[in-house]
């Protein structure tokens, strides 16, 4: 892979000094954080999960020990500080000690989702020159180990494929612990995935200092205490269940983190009842499904105090039903893996909790709401107070650049380091943000993000496709679904099912396979003399909405 420019864009020294001076960045690493937690909460439950139908429960002391052994085992394999390791694990208890083990070894987890397939994993491994892939054998009828081995055969840097549950992994996890040098707290800790709007998924370098700050404050804002029980219902590698406040926020507070193997109401309600879960987080379609299921459940949900809803817009109607149906308080969260996370506060008035997506974590999160004019030549002029505009942000836990993406960074960040979120928001006088739309070329499929261009590129690899444009169409359940408009090459007659199969067989996550395919003879003419994909998508989306 070619990647001109630096791998990683650090904060400018004066900003870093400010974040240290204000106590946001405390010079701690995740490894040392776990050591401190194990000392403070040794015999309390840290992690609860399920493996092959049986419940696994680890105390803080046990988690700490496991993470030490895994770190030593990884070091024994030759995994060094700064090495990248692609991690693809479902919601199993081992997720937690493996991640902390990687952190203690100084390696950077690259957080793939369980839904990712060959093509995405190959990109993550190749782009980061990963030395290893850690996954499971089979999960949800997919042979992850076989996929990982296929990627390892293609990508020369990958020397190890480790599957949790194998004898080899068992040996590694039994390695006698030893002291390893602690990584730089201001250095990169891991690479998180971006929802993306361009051809290939972008990787987000987060540091120990910046992420621990967002996790610590998230735990405080969500009122986590050692008595709390947080449940990760969504795939735990995603930024929301990992850090908002997520499994890491729960651990930071000395609470228990429960990993639900699946997010459906049956599984979630069973765990809420048996583990006395006090707080969890879901995307809006799941919240709607839980609200419906709550009317008929015999499970005792009385322990649940807070339901976080985010990842996509939670409409007012749904927001109003959550509290009464589930007997808990709604907390809206609007976040992004690039950094900025906003929460409604637990003591905010109802109108704000129901009608906004929250306000930023940090007093040092800088927010600008600017004219969403021509994205190719943005003026970045602020709109009048209360008006809708494009959200730009900069702060103590928002990245200044994607990993190995100098060219993309020039467009995704302003020259003075603000991240262009691509979200259209209105700022209330209280500082709360209301998300009203999106300017980026992305489809938000019930919280799962699909980059239009990425899917178009896959479609265009089909010999019968001359051109493709992917847009969002409204969907009652998911909020949005993907619709691919396709112009065939002369004489070709590709069908929807054939193209959907084609995309799936290229080895991509199922949520990226277009929900609808419409074959058209030609695209509408969009502008005078220029064929901008952006304008074309807008024209097609408008046409779809009219029906
Ligand atoms: C509207 N759009 C939202 C919301 C995210 C916490 C919660 C969510 C994410 C996440 C996260 C939204 N209303 N409440 O990382 O820590 C859309 C926006 C945003 C994009 C980011 C977290 N909450 N969104 O969803 O990186 O468009 O992070 O820019 O996956 O999701 O997506 P992602």
The pLDDT value given to residue 532 = 80
Compute, in angstroms, the gap from residue 334 CA to the centroid of ligand 1.
5
- For residue 127, give the nearest of 338, 404, 401 by alpha carbon: 404
What value does the CA radius of gyration of the chain take, rounded to a whole number of Å? 23
Asked if residue 198 is part of any domain, the answer here is no
Q: Is 438 in the pocket of ligand 1 (CB under 6 A)?
A: yes
Residue 137 and residue 110 in contact, taking contact as beta carbons nearer than 8 Å: no
Phi and psi angles of residue 499, each rounded to the nearest 5 degrees, phi first = -70, -35
Burial of 54 (0-12, 13-18, 19+ CB in 10 A): exposed
From the number of C-beta atoms within 10 Å of its C-beta (0-12, 13-18, 19+), residue 122 rates as buried
- Is residue 255 included in any domain, yes or no? no
In terms of Cα–Cα distance, which of 440, 447, 437, 458 is closest to 514? Answer: 458
How many whole angstroms from 280 Cα to the centroid of ligand 1?
Answer: 16
For residue 480, how far is its CA from the centre of ligand 1 (angstroms)?
14
**Does residue 538 lie in a domain region?**
yes
Integer Cα distance of 545 and 153 in angstroms: 45
SS3 assignment, position 78? coil
Residue-level pLDDT, tens digit, the chain, 547 residues = 455 678 999 999 999 999 999 999 999 999 999 999 999 999 999 999 998 889 999 999 999 999 999 999 999 999 999 999 999 999 999 999 999 999 999 999 999 999 999 999 999 999 999 999 999 999 999 999 999 999 999 999 999 999 999 999 999 999 999 999 999 999 999 999 999 888 889 999 999 999 999 999 999 999 999 999 999 999 999 999 999 999 999 999 999 999 999 999 999 999 999 999 999 999 999 999 999 999 999 999 999 999 999 999 999 999 999 999 999 999 999 999 999 999 999 999 999 999 999 999 999 999 999 999 877 788 999 999 999 999 999 999 999 999 999 999 999 999 999 999 999 999 999 999 999 999 999 999 999 999 999 999 999 999 999 999 999 999 999 999 999 999 999 999 999 999 999 999 999 999 999 999 999 999 987 665 555 888 889 888 888 766 5
State the closest ligand 1 atom to the C-alpha of 449, by its place in the atom list counted from 1.
30
The CATH number assigned to the domain holding 149 equals 3.40.50.980
pLDDT of residue 199: 85
Final residue before a domain boundary, out of 184, 216, 248: 184
Instruction: Using the atom order of ligand 1, give the atom closest to the CA of residue 244.
Output: 16
Q: Quick check: 58 and 133 in contact, CB under 8 A?
A: no
Q: Which of 168, 184, 200 is the last residue of a domain?
A: 184
Sign of CA dihedral 416, 419, 425, 427: negative
How confident is the model at residue 137, as a pLDDT? 97
Residue 368 lies in a domain: no
Of 192, 233, 242, 310, the one to substitute when testing ligand 1's pocket (max ligand atoms within 8 A of C-beta) is: 310
- In angstroms, the Cα distances linking 57 to 93, 134, 264 are 8, 22, 22
- DSSP structure class, residue 44: S
CATH number where 515 lies: 3.30.300.30
Strand-pair category, 160-164 with 132-136: parallel
Sign of CA dihedral 145, 150, 155, 157: positive
Task: Find how far residue 488's CA is from the centre of its chain.
Answer: 34
Q: Give yes or no for a contact between 523 and 466, defined as CB atoms under 8 angstroms apart.
A: no
Output the residue whose Cα is nearest ligand 1's atom 9: 335
449 lines ligand 1 (CB under 6 A): yes
Classify residue 401: in a domain, yes or no. no
Q: How far is the CA of 266 from the centre of ligand 1 (A)?
A: 25
> Does residue 334 line the site of ligand 1, with CB under 6 A?
yes
| pLDDT score at 349 | 98
Q: What is residue 1's predicted lDDT score, i.e. its pLDDT?
A: 46
Beta-ladder partners of 382? 370
Q: CA 102, CA 485: separation in Å to the nearest integer?
A: 43
Residue 239 beta carbon below 6 angstroms from any ligand 1 atom = yes
**DSSP-assigned states of every residue in 468-498:** EEEEEEEETTTEEEEEEEEEEPTT----HHH
Report the atom number in ligand 1 closest to the C-alpha of 447: 25
Contacts of 275 (CB under 8 A, 6+ apart): 48, 229, 231, 256, 258
Q: Which of 184, 210, 236 is the last residue of a domain?
A: 184
Give 520 Cα–ligand 1 centroid separation in angstroms.
33
Residue 511 counted as domain residue: yes
**Nearest CA, atom 13, ligand 1:** 313
Continuous H helices in 22-143: 30-41, 60-76, 95-104, 118-128
- Unique residue bearing structure tokens 């040098």: 181
Q: Does the C-beta of 441 come closer than 6 Å to ligand 1?
A: no
Q: Which residues constitute the domain of residue 139? A: 29-42+55-184
CA atoms within 13 A on the CB side of 189: 23
Domain count, the chain: 2
* Residue 439 CB–ligand 1 contact under 6 Å: no
Atom of ligand 1 nearest to the CA of 243: 16
346 inside domain: no
How much distance in Å is there from the Cα of 332 to the middle of ligand 1? Answer: 11
Q: Is the CB of 243 under 6 A from ligand 1?
A: yes
Query: How far is the C-alpha of 77 from the C-alpha of 72, rounded, in Å?
Result: 9
Which of 336, 444, 450 to mutate for ligand 1's pocket (most ligand atoms within 8 Å of CB)?
336
Q: Which residues contact 217 (CB under 8 A, 6 or more apart)?
A: 361, 362
């Amino acid at each position: 892979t070619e990647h001109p420019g630096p791998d990683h864009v650090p904060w400018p020294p004066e900003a870093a000094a400010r974040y240290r001076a204000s106590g946001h960045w405390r010079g701690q690493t995740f490894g040392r954080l776990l050591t401190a937690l194990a000392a403070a909460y040794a015999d309390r439950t840290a992690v609860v999960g399920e493996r092959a139908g049986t419940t696994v429960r680890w105390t803080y002391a046990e988690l700490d020990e496991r993470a030490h052994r895994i770190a030593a085992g990884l070091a024994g394999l030759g995994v060094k500080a700064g090495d990248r390791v692609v991690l693809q694990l479902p919601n199993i208890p081992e997720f937690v000690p493996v991640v902390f083990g990687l952190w203690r070894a100084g390696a950077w987890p690259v957080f793939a989702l369980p839904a990712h397939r060959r093509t995405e994993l190959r990109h993550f491994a190749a782009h980061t020159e990963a030395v290893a892939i850690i996954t499971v054998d089979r999960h949800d009828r997919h042979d992850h180990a076989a996929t990982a081995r296929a990627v390892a055969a293609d990508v020369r840097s990958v020397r190890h494929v480790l599957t949790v549950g194998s004898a080899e992994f068992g040996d590694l996890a039994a390695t006698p612990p030893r002291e390893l040098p602690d990584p730089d707290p201001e250095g990169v800790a891991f690479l998180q995935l971006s929802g993306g709007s361009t051809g290939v998924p972008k990787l987000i370098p987060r540091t120990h200092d910046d992420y621990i700050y967002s996790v610590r404050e998230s735990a405080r804002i969500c009122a986590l205490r050692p008595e709390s029980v947080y449940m990760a219902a969504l795939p735990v590698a995603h930024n929301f269940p990992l850090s908002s406040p997520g499994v890491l926020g729960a651990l930071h507070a000395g609470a228990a983190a429960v990993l639900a193997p699946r997010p459906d109401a049956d599984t979630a309600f069973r765990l809420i009842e048996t583990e006395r879960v006090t707080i969890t987080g879901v995307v809006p379609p799941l919240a709607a499904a839980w609200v419906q299921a709550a009317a008929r459940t015999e499970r005792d949900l009385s322990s649940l105090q807070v339901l976080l809803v985010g990842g996509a817009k939670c409409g007012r109607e749904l927001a109003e039903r959550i509290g009464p149906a589930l007997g808990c308080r709604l907390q809206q969260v609007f976040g992004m893996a690039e950094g900025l996370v906003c929460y409604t506060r637990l003591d905010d008035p109802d109108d704000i909790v129901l009608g906004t997506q929250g306000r930023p974590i940090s007093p040092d999160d800088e927010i600008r709401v600017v004219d969403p004019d021509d994205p190719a030549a943005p003026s970045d002029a602020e709109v009048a107070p209360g008006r809708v505009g494009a959200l730009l942000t900069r702060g103590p836990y928002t990245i200044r650049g994607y990993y190995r993406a100098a060219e993309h960074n020039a467009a995704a960040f302003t020259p003075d380091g603000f991240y262009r979120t691509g979200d259209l928001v209105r700022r209330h006088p209280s500082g709360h943000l209301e998300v009203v739309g999106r300017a980026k070329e992305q489809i938000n499929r019930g919280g799962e993000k699909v980059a239009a261009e990425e899917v178009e590129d896959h479609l265009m690899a089909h010999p019968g496709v001359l051109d493709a444009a992917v847009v969002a169409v409204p969907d009652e359940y998911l909020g949005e679904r993907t619709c691919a408009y396709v112009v065939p090459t002369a004489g070709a007659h590709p069908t929807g099912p054939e193209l959907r199969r084609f995309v799936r067989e290229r080895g991509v996550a199922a949520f990226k396979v277009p929900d609808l395919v419409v074959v058209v003879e030609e695209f509408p003419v969009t502008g005078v003399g220029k064929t901008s994909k952006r304008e074309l998508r807008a024209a097609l989306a408008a046409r779809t909405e009219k029906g």
